[in-house]
Amino acid sequence: MVTWIESGSTKPKIGFIGLGIMGRPMAKNLIKAGYDLTVYNRTTAKTEEFRGLGARVGDTPADVAKGSDVVITMVSDTPDVEEVILGSQGVIHGARPGSVVIDMSTISPSATREIAQKLAERGVEMLDAPVSGGEKGAIEGTLSIMVGGKKEVFDRCVPVFEAMGKNIVHMGPNGAGQTTKLCNQVLCSLTILSMAECLVLGAKAGLDLEKLLQAVSGGAGGSWSLSNLGPKVIRGDFSPGFMVKLHQKDIRLVLNLANQLGVSLPGTALANQLFNAVEGQGEGNLGNQAMIKPLEKIAGCEARK
């Protein structure tokens, strides 16, 4: 049988598992790009919208995989990915030889390699393709996508990635995409921390915070976090583009990898402690800009306009 990888077709049938803050707009963009989509979500209410958009709804991850050339997973953590791919009703039990599983969650690189090996034993290819850009990037289809896996499989899947993102880079074998994402999360954590410290200092000094952002965003200290999360903070908007509890999950993966490699990451460890403080206040579902809250409490001020 000729597989999709061998067929030359540019429009594989896609299964999409996980319709959360990121997965929902990513799946919508695949529909907009003309892909035939089957979706699955543990909370079934989230699938009804997609039925109305012409997608099919699978009963289980295995059911989704049976009719798909490519299955994308976008769930919260390593155990969730292991369950939807390798569990008793997982993708592995429905995926055809020659099909491709693309995990776009952020999980452990070592777990990724283990999952890829188990899929390979069934003749199923795997790419790890975590993303960066937050909910805004997912909605606008401008995500950065960092990919690990066989180059020839990546090349066939580029059109699928292009429906969801703009900066798409093949990083190497399985696990390399996840390792790249962890490096990205070091940068994200520390730019959020620098944004938070900047605004707290400015607020305590009595500066106009909107003018402060205007003044520094275009200079050497500018960053995505400053331009996108800074305005949210001063408006008092802590709605999640990316939840504190999920960002902290990523930091734990970073610090675990750093421990394995004997690498010191003191800034990331500090960011982890600030997120711990936010979670300790029962605010883990807030956006990661809430890292500023413990710093505001220490300073005795709020960085609001």
Q: Six-digit token pair at 164?
A: 């969801």
Count of CB atoms situated within 10 Å of the CB of 163: 18
Q: Six-digit token pair at 75?
A: 């769930």
- 181: annotated active-site residue: yes
Cβ 138 vs Cβ 117: under 8 Å: no
The letter for the amino acid at 303 is A
Whole-number Å distance between alpha carbons of 253 and 259: 10
Whole-number Å distance between alpha carbons of 201 and 258: 31
| CA dihedral sign, ordered 104, 68, 37, 61 | negative
| Helices vs. strands in the chain: H and E counts, helices first | 15, 9
How, if at all, do strands 143-148 and 131-132 pair?
antiparallel
Whole-number Å distance between alpha carbons of 86 and 105: 15
Radius of gyration of the chain, Cα coordinates, nearest whole angstrom: 20
Whole-number Å distance between alpha carbons of 24 and 46: 9
- In the set 181, 245, 249, 293, the catalytic residue is 181
Whole-number Å distance between alpha carbons of 218 and 281: 34
Whole-number Å distance between alpha carbons of 23 and 163: 13
What residues are labeled active site?
181
